[in-house]
Chains A and B, each alone.
Chain A
Amino acid sequence: MKSAVTTVISAADAAGRFPSMSDFESVKGSFDRALPRLEAAEKLASCIDKFTNLAVDAVYQSGSYEQANKDKCVRDIHHYLRLINYCLVTGGTGPLDEWGISGMREIIRIQLLPTSAYIEAFIFIRDEIKINDVMSQQAETEFKGLLDYLINALA
């Protein structure tokens, strides 16, 4: 799975060479940024149910979606947040790409799901929930970057 380290190793292996000084630099760079990421992952894991419920409640309050689907929406939002948690840990978008985004269009189309509900929920998490209360500024930036990535992929 793609992460900062595996990308470097794949490239080195394709060329049949040992990891070079610039490879070490890039690995080291990713480690330097790792602590805020891990903090974001930790805090997200502890708030994942809260964020999910807040977002889904807000979306379904508007009344534009069938209440019967609410449970499924909760499940999916929870699933996507879990994948974001994984992405925060790996430091790349691999888990979201491989387990959340590839094939998603096909599934959504065949089940006639309203993607706008998901998008609204993630925008709610990004803009309305005070993420700052639970995690530091840097961690929040990492988290929001991945939310943006997911919103763009769903749109």
Chain B
Amino acid sequence: MLDAFSRTVVSADAKGAAIGSEDLADLRKYVADANKRIDATLAITQNVSCIAADAVAGMVCENTGLTQPGGHCYPTRRMAACLRDGEIILRYVSYALLAGDPSVLKDRCLNGLKETYLALGVPTSNAIRAVEIMKIATVAIMTETNTGRKMFKGINSGSGAQCKDIAAEAASYFDLVIEALS
């Protein structure tokens, strides 16, 4: 597993060069943005069940056959598995966001996920839809552009507008999940 720092190290080692000023500029930005990053991660961890439940509910609403007998979210046991998977994906996205690098998400969550779903007969198109909704909800909560109340409390009274760049990064991690399932 890598983070923003060790990613720089691994690519510098491939060239056999020491890490100089140019490469350090990005890392300094990462350090400077640390508080925003932590706030953005909190936006996920404080709203996990809400984000996952909304996404799965949205997916079912768009395709009501899923919860009917014979549907993929019938009986409740399979619906519960769906909710659980949503939370697992959110967990790995929160790790990747904190680390500033997608390696943990790729290695530990996405690697083999599509094959597993195909083997279990989970329809990936529906799973992708749920992930899309999670992405939209997460970005909205992080940037405080969601309708209704502010959904998270940051450690440094971070306001959502400041989290914009980090929210874009989080969106890119959800895109990786979608890509892996497509």
Question: What residues make up the interface of A, taking CB atoms closer than 8 Å to B?
Answer: 1, 3, 5-6, 8-10, 12-13, 16-19, 24, 27-28, 31, 34-35, 38, 41-42, 44-46, 48, 81-82, 85-86, 89-91, 94-95, 99
A99 to B16, CA, bound (A): 12
Cβ B31 vs Cβ A31 within 8 A: yes
B115 proximal to A (CB < 8 A): no
Cβ A94 vs Cβ B6 within 8 A: yes
B35 / chain A contacts, CB cutoff of 8 Å: 28
Q: CB-defined interface of B1-30 with A at 8 Å, one 1/0 digit per residue? A: 111011011101100111111001001100
Please report which residues of chain B, range 127-178, place their CB below 8 angstroms from some CB of chain A when the two chains form the complex.
155
Give the interface SS of chain A, mostly helix, strand, loop or mixed.
Answer: helix
- The residue on B at minimum CB distance from A85 is B18
Known contacts A18-B91, A82-B18, A90-B5; is-contact A9 B98 (Cβ 8 Å): yes
Known contacts A31-B31, A86-B13, A89-B19; is-contact A9 B1 (Cβ 8 Å): yes
Cβ B1 vs Cβ A6 within 8 A: yes
Closest CB of chain A to B113's CB: distance in Å?
15
Cβ A42 vs Cβ B20 within 8 A: yes
Give the interface SS of chain B, mostly helix, strand, loop or mixed.
Answer: helix
Closest CB of chain B to A32's CB: distance in Å?
8
A6 to B2, CA, bound (A): 7
User: Of B38-46, B60-68, B116-124, which stretch is located at the interface?
Assistant: B38-46
Cβ A6 vs Cβ B3 within 8 A: yes
A31 to B155, CA, bound (A): 15
Residue in B1, B2, B5, B34 whose beta carbon sits within 8 Å of that of A89 in the complex: B5
A-B contact pairs, 24 of them (CB 8 A): A3-B6, A5-B100, A6-B99, A9-B104, A10-B1, A13-B91, A18-B44, A19-B95, A24-B42, A27-B34, A28-B35, A28-B155, A34-B31, A35-B31, A38-B31, A41-B19, A42-B24, A46-B21, A48-B18, A82-B17, A86-B19, A89-B24, A91-B5, A95-B13
A85 to B104, CA, bound (A): 24
Cβ A12 vs Cβ B95 within 8 A: yes
- The residue on A at minimum CB distance from B20 is A45
Cβ A90 vs Cβ B9 within 8 A: yes
Cβ A46 vs Cβ B9 within 8 A: no
- The residue on A at minimum CB distance from B90 is A18
B34 / chain A contacts, CB cutoff of 8 Å: 27-28, 31
With contacts A27-B34, A90-B5 known, what are 15 further pairs, Cβ within 8 A? A9-B95, A13-B104, A18-B91, A19-B45, A27-B38, A35-B31, A38-B31, A42-B24, A45-B21, A46-B21, A81-B18, A82-B18, A86-B12, A89-B27, A94-B6
B48 proximal to A (CB < 8 A): yes
Cβ B38 vs Cβ A3 within 8 A: no
A35 to B25, CA, bound (A): 11
- The residue on B at minimum CB distance from A41 is B19
